Amino acid sequence: MFYPQEFDVIVVGGGHAGTEAALASARMGCKTLLLTHNIETLGQMSCNPSIGGIGKGHLVKEVDAMGGAMALATDEGGIQFRILNSSKGPAVRATRAQADRILYKAAIRRMIENQPNLWLFQQAVDDLMVEGDRVVGAVTQVGIKFRSRTVVLTAGTFLDGKIHVGLQNYAAGRAGDPPAVSLSARLKELKLPQGRLKTGTPPRIDGRSIDFSKCTVQPGDGMPGGTPGAVPVFSFMGGQIAHPRQMPCWITHTNERTHEIIRSGFDRSPMFTGKIDGVGPRYCPSVEDKINRFAGKASHQIFLEPEGLSTHEIYPNGISTSLPFDIQYDLVRSMAGMENAHILRPGYAIEYDYFDPRSLKSTFETRAVAGLFFAGQINGTTGYEEAAAQGMFAGINAALQCQGKDSWLPKRDEAYLGVLVDDLITKGVTEPYRMFTSRAEFRLMLREDNADMRLTEKGRELGLVDDARWDAFNRKRDAVSRETERLRSIWVNPRSLPAAEAERVLGKAIEHEYNLLDLLRRPDVDYAALMSLESGKYVNADLAPVDAAGVPRETSAAADLARSVIEQIEIAIKYAGYIDLQKIEVERASHYENLKLPADLDYLQVSALSFEARQTLAKYRPETLGLASRISGITPATISLLLVHLKKNL
């Protein structure tokens, strides 16, 4: 039957890409249908119960800045938060959270169910309706035909998915879920260029069978024993959401015995016996891959991550494996604290179809079928965050197409999302693609902390940002500009700032007149130091650490605002010079097209480059910098770093 209603946008798949795509298109006013296998698995984390990390956290903040769901759901379900690289520069600082997967899913489902213009329907999609060269809807397993003007396909690891445990394998989309076989066959018929990739997951452990006293505890930020201060938040609206109870993680290690056990299973490994054809993610290798590739390493760290507050289940991060179950059992029990471990779910690898993203337009619409958009793992990426960002992007562009408006195409210097899309459509993938800060040449501009400053206004213009977020954003933006001007307008000179006071705060006396903004430029001077000048004479009451009644603002929304305003001002002023230099350097790199690269250059030793870039350059040995820049996987950032290396060393 034809379903009686027609839709603007049908989104197939309720994972991280699909939920963001559906929310975006519905928020933009398009009549949207989210068709997915199972409503219970909306927003399901197929693998690790964590969100964010370096590069990935940046994407989550960008999705959030445009009104997306991932950061809000993480704040609501997050049981441990950490700021990674907190002692490094702001470009590479990143938020990472452990999430209670049940709370996370519940938050996503609630947002989906309460979104106006968004309809949900549970059924497998087996076919697409195509008229001429245009998609006109989707057909479900029981033959229900839904008509629509556009379709966004976000089928994740499900297309012709095949699970491997040792030499056993079976068809599945992920453990416990069916594969999408008919849809995969239909897409092959449409002659979309396709390949196979694989990914894997570790066995899960019953926490009651682990002796945590033999492991090292790893608390989150703001927890006893962790980095002092408030527990971080993910969303720019996060100050208004209370996190649930926080939990620590633990660390154990593999050892020589573990490695022996793993090696003893190589002859029954689907990876090493040729049962798996798909290429796996380089940066999330299986434990057998690690032992094989880094044979000299005596031990690997394994993080024991809680899966939630209402379960004992533990995710042992670092032992993803598709070895036979008997080997999994022994390898788990060979590690400290795990001697009596009970495995709740076996680890496995999954192979699935992906489609070459070079066959997509810059909007993620397929070139072959008008109105058909792809987003998420189907485009050859890996990770919830990469999927969410792509989903939002495809959802926006599908909606814009329905509205007859111009597409939204963020540039590489505007957003990690711009980098992600540009990388995918120009370079394609040879292995599951994940985001790193090293992929962005303008990374000092594309920080987590300023994602809202870069994108919220655009989000509002597109209809994605609601009034509450828009008000909060404007309050912050106004406060940043007011405080910047205030600091610029306050002058101190050797008479008004006695030498002893200047030495206490600035490290030395000042020799002439400065405004406070100029003083803030100094590497050792932070905002708090300036405010302590002459016992807080220059404190701004709005940003003070106590409110008007003298109550500490540690956890209030006002404290959040104050922190983020101060952070923006400090970073903008301290890094202004570097940001300008970076722009010039990247621009200059484009002039080095014909620069000859030394034939004997040992790329593997160029430590400034990522491991992936070093391997690729060593493999292809390009003759010129221009040729190097066009090799798949070599980013403009790599070219800049290579140029710096050449200048220094040759």
Nearer to ligand FAD, 15 or 418 (CB): 15
CB of 532 vs ligand FAD, minimal distance in Å: 43
Question: How far apart are the C-alpha atoms of 362 and 347, rounded to whole Å?
Answer: 37
Nearer to ligand FAD, 279 or 525 (CB): 279
93 is annotated as contributing to ligand binding: no
Query: Measured between alpha carbons, how far is residue 106 from residues 72, 221, 507 in Å?
Result: 12, 25, 52
Query: Measured between alpha carbons, how far is residue 175 from residues 164, 264, 318, 346, 347 in Å?
Result: 10, 25, 19, 9, 9
Give 560's DSSP letter.
Answer: H
Whether the CB-CB separation of 458 and 544 falls below 8 Å is answered with no
Whether the CB-CB separation of 275 and 507 falls below 8 Å is answered with no
CB of 508 vs ligand FAD, minimal distance in Å: 48
**How many chain residues interact with ligand FAD (CB under 6 A)?**
37
Contact between 629 and ligand FAD by CB under 6 A: the answer reads: no
Question: How far apart are the C-alpha atoms of 581 and 577, rounded to whole Å?
Answer: 6
Q: Which of 9, 33, 350, 505 binds ligand FAD (CB under 6 A)?
A: 350
Write down how long the chain is: 650
CB of 633 vs ligand FAD, minimal distance in Å: 18
Nearer to ligand FAD, 383 or 636 (CB): 383
Q: Contact letters (x/-) for ligand FAD, 171-190, by CB under 6 A?
A: --xx--x--x--x-------
Choices 93-101, 151-159, 257-265, 476-484 (CB under 6 A): range interacting with ligand FAD: 151-159
Q: Which of 8, 11, 13, 331 binds ligand FAD (CB under 6 A)?
A: 13
Nearer to ligand FAD, 28 or 124 (CB): 124
Contact between 380 and ligand FAD by CB under 6 A: the answer reads: no
290 is annotated as contributing to ligand binding: yes
Q: Which of 7, 9, 11, 16 binds ligand FAD (CB under 6 A)?
A: 16
Q: Contact letters (x/-) for ligand FAD, 241-280, by CB under 6 A?
A: ----------------------------------------
Contact between 287 and ligand FAD by CB under 6 A: the answer reads: no
Q: Which of 35, 92, 440, 572 binds ligand FAD (CB under 6 A)?
A: 35
CB of 501 vs ligand FAD, minimal distance in Å: 51
CB of 191 vs ligand FAD, minimal distance in Å: 19
Q: Which helix (H) or strand (E) holds 353?
A: strand 348-355
Q: Which of 31, 37, 109, 460 binds ligand FAD (CB under 6 A)?
A: 37
3-state SS track over 593-647: CCCECCCCCCHHHCCCCCHHHHHHHHHHCCCEHHHHHCCCCCCHHHHHHHHHHHH
Q: Which helix (H) or strand (E) holds 333?
A: helix 325-333
Q: Which of 95, 157, 322, 366 binds ligand FAD (CB under 6 A)?
A: 157
Hey, is 147 helix, strand or coil?
Answer: strand
Whether the CB-CB separation of 476 and 561 falls below 8 Å is answered with yes
* Torsion of the alpha carbons at 163, 55, 224 and 552, rounded to the nearest 10: -140
Q: Which of 376, 418, 428, 459 binds ligand FAD (CB under 6 A)?
A: 376
293 is annotated as contributing to ligand binding: yes
CB of 124 vs ligand FAD, minimal distance in Å: 4
Contact between 284 and ligand FAD by CB under 6 A: the answer reads: yes
Q: Contact letters (x/-) for ligand FAD, 107-146, by CB under 6 A?
A: -----------------xx---------------------
Contact between 93 and ligand FAD by CB under 6 A: the answer reads: no
Name, in order, each residue with C-beta under 8 angstroms of 529's C-beta and a sequence gap of 6 or more: 505, 506
Nearer to ligand FAD, 317 or 363 (CB): 317
* Torsion of the alpha carbons at 333, 336, 340 and 343, rounded to the nearest 10: -50
Name, in order, each residue with C-beta under 8 angstroms of 461's C-beta and a sequence gap of 6 or more: none
418 is annotated as contributing to ligand binding: no
φ, ψ at 485 (rounded to 5°) = -65, -40
Contact between 156 and ligand FAD by CB under 6 A: the answer reads: yes
Q: Which of 25, 36, 209, 610 binds ligand FAD (CB under 6 A)?
A: 36
Contact between 12 and ligand FAD by CB under 6 A: the answer reads: yes
550 is annotated as contributing to ligand binding: no
541-580 binders of ligand FAD (CB under 6 A)? none
17 is annotated as contributing to ligand binding: yes
State how beta strands 118-122 and 32-36 pair: parallel
39-78 binders of ligand FAD (CB under 6 A)? 41, 46-47
Give 195's DSSP letter.
Answer: E
Would you tell me the crossing angle of helices 256-264 and 325-333 to the nearest 10 degrees?
170
CB of 171 vs ligand FAD, minimal distance in Å: 13
260 is annotated as contributing to ligand binding: no
Name, in order, each residue with C-beta under 8 angstroms of 351's C-beta and a sequence gap of 6 or more: 161, 162, 164, 196, 197, 198, 276, 277, 278
Q: Which of 9, 10, 11, 17 binds ligand FAD (CB under 6 A)?
A: 17
Q: Which residues pair with 169 in a beta bridge?
A: 164
Q: Which of 382, 397, 438, 640 binds ligand FAD (CB under 6 A)?
A: 382
φ, ψ at 10 (rounded to 5°) = -105, 130
Nearer to ligand FAD, 7 or 442 (CB): 7
- Other CB atoms within 10 Å distance of the CB of residue 557: 14
Report CA 137 to chain centroid distance, whole Å: 30
State how beta strands 204-206 and 313-317 pair: antiparallel
- Binding-site positions read 13-18, 280-294
Contacting residues toward ligand FAD, per CB under 6 A: 12-18, 35-38, 41, 46-47, 124-125, 154-158, 173-174, 177, 180, 183, 199-201, 284, 350, 376-377, 382-384, 387
Q: Which residues are annotated as a binding site for FAD?
A: 13-18
